[in-house]
Amino acid sequence: MAEANSVSGTPESRRPLSPHLQIYRPMLTMMMSIMHRITGGALYVGTLLLAWWLIALAKDANAFAIANGFLSSIIGRLVMFGFTWSLFHHLMGGLRHFVWEAGHGMEHPQREYLAQATLAGGLVLTVLVWIVAYMVR
């Protein structure tokens, strides 16, 4: 971290300077943190779609047919697959943070293993849910 002159100038000019984003090397833990935030936002959209489907179910058969038709289409299924992945990825990221808050897994190789487990766990759980959903149909 670059340091400013600590003797002269205003208090704002004596603060340490943050490095620019260009010098950061992307790491898996950093990408998982960014994805945790993105999936949190995606969960809002997915919850709105789920609420639309439930409201249409309660309203009448025509409204339900429209909502169910969209969610049963290829685009709707892709959106629901993404929602399912967002849900599980966000869950796994939350569990990773829970482990960190308990004081475990903060060393270098363990951080990477937890980030890999977050990525793999979200994908595996998503695929398992969709396999079970198609087997039940």
pLDDT in tens, 40-53: 999 999 999 999 99
In a domain, 64, yes or no: yes
In a domain, 3, yes or no: no
The pLDDT score that the predictor gives to residue 10 is 75
**Going residue by residue through the chain (137 aa), what tens digit of pLDDT does each one get?**
455 555 566 766 676 677 776 777 888 999 999 999 999 999 999 999 999 999 999 999 999 999 999 999 999 999 999 999 999 999 999 999 999 999 999 998 999 999 999 999 999 999 999 999 999 98
In a domain, 49, yes or no: yes
Half-sphere exposure of 94 (CA within 13 A, CB side): 8
Q: Are 84 and 126 in contact (CB under 8 A)?
A: yes
In a domain, 31, yes or no: no
Range of the domain at 106: 42-136
In a domain, 99, yes or no: yes
CATH number at residue 71: 1.20.1300
In a domain, 32, yes or no: no
In a domain, 82, yes or no: yes
